[in-house]
Amino acid sequence: MWINDRELKFRMLVTMFLLAVVYLTFLTLLAALGVNFGFLILFALLFMFLQYYLSDRIVLLSTGARIVDEGEAPELYRIVRELSSRAGLPMPRVAIINTEMPNAFATGRNARSAVVAVTTGLMKTLSRDELEAVLGHELSHIKNHDMAVLTFTSVISTLAFFVMRWAMFMGMFGSRRDSGGSAVLLFVVSSLVWLISFLLIRALSRYREYAADTGGALLTSKPRSLISALMKISRKMDFVGKEEKARVEGLSAFFIIPAVSGKTVLSLFSTHPPVEKRIERLERLAEEMGW
């Protein structure tokens, strides 16, 4: 069972429209300044393609996740297989991360290369229904093609970042005064584009978390199990050491609850909505559906 959340879709469409406006304006300004950005675009596309193509391997390696077979985790496999069948998805690979941090994530460039990973801490913390609800959330990310969407929307943002670095270098070491002035202008423009797109992509990521919550709740018909799972994970994450959080903080966007140590700006520009807001939306959904 799936639902058409018009409000959420509208927000995502507006965010993607604003990103398109920012990106087109940026490319127009680059052309007006006489920048030959063909090479930079190719470089940014290559960088994002490699990141996208290798994303599952990078994330698994970074988190220490280990692919397991059905014999090692029969109950986990049964839940993932049943939910995948309901969602009309091929069976993803299943991985386990040996850490007391209760969390889960999904990665992979498409449904056929997808991986769903859970921590040993999550399996100890949650009941079966709660674990099923969390896995439903992760499979919703796969069904909604979130990895592809966020990668696609990040291409020009990545380009702006490279232009910003290049302009800073030219401004510092350029030999001609006029080229130095152009480099400063280019640095300012690309910095603004990168910052605005960074904030918009973060907003888009938060909206897609809401969508995955909704999808997971409907896939399992257990929104209240997802609510209790989010509450348990959030509470237990408060007791996870800062060193453990810092180790995986760069991958927080993948987790169902972000692992933020409080030492970086990631706590200010979160990829996830507040847990309280997510619970409010799930409560409304449970009431609307009579669950």
Catalytic residue annotation: 138
Instruction: Determine the 3-state secondary structure of 66 from DSSP.
Output: strand
Beta strands 66-68 and 115-119 are unpaired
**Residue 231 near residue 142 (C-beta atoms within 8 A):** no
Which of the 8 DSSP states describes residue 290? T
In sequence order, what DSSP letters do the residues of 81-112 get, joined into one string? HHHHHHHT-PPPEEEEE-SSS--EEEE-SSGG
- 122 CB neighbour count, 10 Å cutoff: 27
Contacts of 194 (CB under 8 A, 6+ apart): 157, 160, 161, 164
CA distance 197 to 16: 10
Contacts of 145 (CB under 8 A, 6+ apart): 110
**Residue 273 near residue 209 (C-beta atoms within 8 A):** yes
Handedness of CA 48, 54, 60, 64 (dihedral sign): negative
CA distance 284 to 41: 44
